[in-house]
Structure 1
Amino acid sequence: MENDSTLYVGLDVHKDSITVAYALGTGEVELLGKIGTTKTDIDRLCKRLQSKARRVCIVYEAGPCGYGLYRQLTERGFDCMVCAPSLIPKKPGERVKTDRRDAIKLVRALRAGDLSAVYVPGVEDEAFRDLARAWAAAKDDLKQARQRLKSFLLLHGVRYTGSANWGPAHQRWLSTHSFANEWQQFAFEEHRRTIEDRLTQCERLEKALREAAVNWRFYPAILGLQAMRGIQFTTAVGMIAELGNLSRFEHPRPLMAWLGVTPSEHSSGNKRRQGSITKNGNSYARKLLVEAAWSYRHLARVSPEIQRRHEGIPKPIVDRAWDAQVRLCRRYRKLVARGKDRNIAVIAVARELSGFIWDISQLAMSLAIPTPNKVLTA
């Protein structure tokens, strides 16, 4: 037994099974076999691995099974990594994929240091993120339900003459409209009931989220980000829930790369070619970022709504938010004046906006921000 060597372990994790491969130091990679996913199976595996070496490094791919296995292994004292599947090195022309090959590949890549770890949130942070994602999913369902009703009315030649923005006038018109055919009327009412159910669900989740945000450790960052233009409670909660602890980024540039708003590049020799953004990382956080960036296409100003959100926020954060607005609004106008497409200009603004988000969130967490109840009713 070589107790001074490091044991490298690769796990190919599925819902009902885990394929295990390992290598001791620089030795050959061996296949341990396939085990179950119950706590008893994991405990038995841990005992077998502990008997082979003092230091055990384990890796598995991020996937739909979450981080429960990671927490079980770290509690047992193992050095565990959850790697990004999209960044695992792959040989050109490789066409055979099995659980056994995937586990062996993970061992070799872990030993060579070629894997990129994903951020594993804490239990409380993950719970808050689940609540925020449920809220976002409910809003998407509401949007789809409204679109289905509009499509149904258009299919039968029913058109609203005003602005169909689901305001009071639009909803009154929907409540008074009826079809002559009984079956069409029943389908119409079911579409309306679906919208009402989704709207009630959104309100219920939003209320729970606003109450939970006050007790979350990143609540100061949520308040600080709302001092910026284009970032209201919805965007602030979604961004912080997906990003987690922003202090893990030593500089704004890694955050920009994580959000996927940095240009792709294919350079060789003296030629440097940059393309569209990479779109790596979290797509929902990137969507919120770009939506917020569109507000900077107008002239810099502090609206009454932004002024209301500034109440109770320390002056350094408010000043930094104003600096961001002045710079980003000017940046957009300069890019458009140079002939850049509006979408390209907004992406450039979004890239710089992520840097200000990193800065203001760090500043908000370091300052003692009071926790008023205004965010609950905003």
Structure 2
Amino acid sequence: VVAAPSLIPKKAGDRIKTNRRDGVNLAKLLRAGELTAVWVPDERHEAMRDLSRAREAARKDLKGKCQQISSFMLRLGRHYPGKRTWGPAHMNWLMKQKLEHREQRIALEELLGAVRQESERVERLEQAIREAVPEWSLAEVVTALQAMRGIDLVAAVAVLAEIGDLSRFQNPRELMGFLGLVPSERSTGDTTKRGGITKAGNGRARRILVEAAWSYRHPPRVGREKQAKVAAAPRRVREIAWKAQMRLCGRFRSLTRKGKRPTVVAAAIARELSAFIWAINREVMASRQI
């Protein structure tokens, strides 16, 4: 049995730790059925997780390089007049900047070269993900999840790579708890006190869902880029995806009108979004058995 260390019961007053005492305690807990087993991924799944995390690391490095250039230009008093940064127009503007000192021009060229290098690295990893997905056991689920708003190929792969087999969750609430998106609670007697989300479980998957939740602040619609993905999905998956849009877009507006902080609203939407992801996975798995 592979148990989750964070879920192993421990006495608050026990201050002595030895291998012998730990072994005895684990044996007692196993006999009593108090140990919570964790899902163990196979080698193929771990490989997909490594690839997804490599892409995330490359994206983080790219963001850092872009921030360095932004800080450099801000210090020199140069402000980009356009709206969308880091697109072709912004890059052309940066390359055309005429700086006073030769050393500054060299520094800017090196930073721009680093951005181009990191961008190519991200593109290579995303291409590797696209090529690896068809051979993955969760390929059908990846395709189905892309019918949902805010979830593209990279996000779908990242969520499934981090969470694993969604079928092991008996209901959506178990998945919400695993992701740490449920409110914390410290209640006693007649007093009920709830706080922020628990943030338990996998932080990467939780962050991706929260980022996807922000797309539901706009009215429900199917964009041009999403139409092909929606059309390729099974009818039942399309219905769930559209139901999610109608529900979550309305929920986002409703919570915002009540004066909730934007971050609180995004976390609430991400929690419900995980339930729709669970429903789509169940639908795909059920179609496999037919």
TM-score by length of 1: 0.70
Give the CA deviation at 1:239: 0.7
Q: Tell me the equivalent position of 1:132.
A: 52
Whole-angstrom CA distance in 2 between matches of 1:189 and 1:220: 44
Q: Which amino acid aligns with 2:261?
A: D
Fraction of identical pairs, as percent: 45
Q: Which amino acid aligns with 2:194?
A: Q
Whole-angstrom CA distance in 2 between matches of 1:164 and 1:153: 16
Whole-angstrom CA distance in 2 between matches of 1:117 and 1:153: 52
Whole-angstrom CA distance in 1 between matches of 2:221 and 2:232: 19
Q: Tell me the equivalent position of 1:112.
A: 29
Give the CA deviation at 1:311: 2.3
Gap change, CA 1:162 and 1:300, over 3 Å in 2: closer
**1:93-108 map, 5 Å:** 101=18, 104-105=21-22, 107-108=24-25
Q: Tell me the equivalent position of 1:153.
A: 73
Unaligned runs of 5+ in 1: 1-79, 369-378
In terms of fraction of residues, the more helix-rich structure is 2
Whole-angstrom CA distance in 1 between matches of 2:24 and 2:37: 14
Q: 2:184 is paired with a residue of what secondary structure?
A: strand
The answer as to 2:196 corresponding to 1:276 is: yes
Q: Tell me the equivalent position of 2:223.
A: 303
Q: Which amino acid aligns with 2:29?
A: A
Give the CA deviation at 1:90: 4.3
Gap change, CA 1:107 and 1:247, over 3 Å in 2: farther
Q: Which amino acid aligns with 1:295?
A: S
Q: Tell me the equivalent position of 2:285.
A: 365
Structure of greater Rg: 1
Q: Which amino acid aligns with 1:184?
A: Q
What do the CA deviations read for 1:44-84 (whole angstroms, capped 9, x no partner)?
A: xxxxxxxxxxxxxxxxxxxxxxxxxxxxxxxxxxxx31x33
Whole-angstrom CA distance in 2 between matches of 1:207 and 1:103: 50
Q: 2:196 is paired with a residue of what secondary structure?
A: strand
Whole-angstrom CA distance in 2 between matches of 1:319 and 1:201: 37
CA contact (8 A) 2:129 2:154 kept: no
In terms of fraction of residues, the more strand-rich structure is 1
CA contact (8 A) 2:126 2:154 kept: no
**1:134-283 map, 5 Å:** 134-163=54-83, 165-283=85-203
Gap change, CA 1:267 and 1:170, over 3 Å in 2: same
Gap change, CA 1:269 and 1:154, over 3 Å in 2: same
Give the CA deviation at 1:223: 0.8
Whole-angstrom CA distance in 2 between matches of 1:250 and 1:88: 21
The answer as to 2:243 corresponding to 1:323 is: yes
Q: Tell me the equivalent position of 1:333.
A: 253
CA contact (8 A) 1:218 1:365 kept: no
Give the CA deviation at 1:133: 0.8
Whole-angstrom CA distance in 1 between matches of 2:96 and 2:207: 37
Gap change, CA 1:180 and 1:339, over 3 Å in 2: closer
Give the CA deviation at 1:352: 1.1
TM-score by length of 2: 0.91
Q: Which amino acid aligns with 1:104?
A: R
**How many aligned positions are there?**
285
Q: Tell me the equivalent position of 2:43.
A: 123
Q: Which amino acid aligns with 1:301?
A: R
Give the CA deviation at 1:122: 0.6
CA contact (8 A) 2:142 2:156 kept: yes
CA contact (8 A) 1:221 1:362 kept: no
Give the CA deviation at 1:254: 0.9
Whole-angstrom CA distance in 2 between matches of 1:307 and 1:170: 29
Q: Which amino acid aligns with 1:339?
A: G
Once superposed, what is the RMSD of the aligned Cα atoms? 2.0
What do the CA deviations read for 1:185-242 (whole angstroms, capped 9, x no partner)?
A: 2222221111111111111111111000011110100111111111111211111111
What do the CA deviations read for 1:293-344 (whole angstroms, capped 9, x no partner)?
A: 1122222222222222112211111011111111222222222333333322
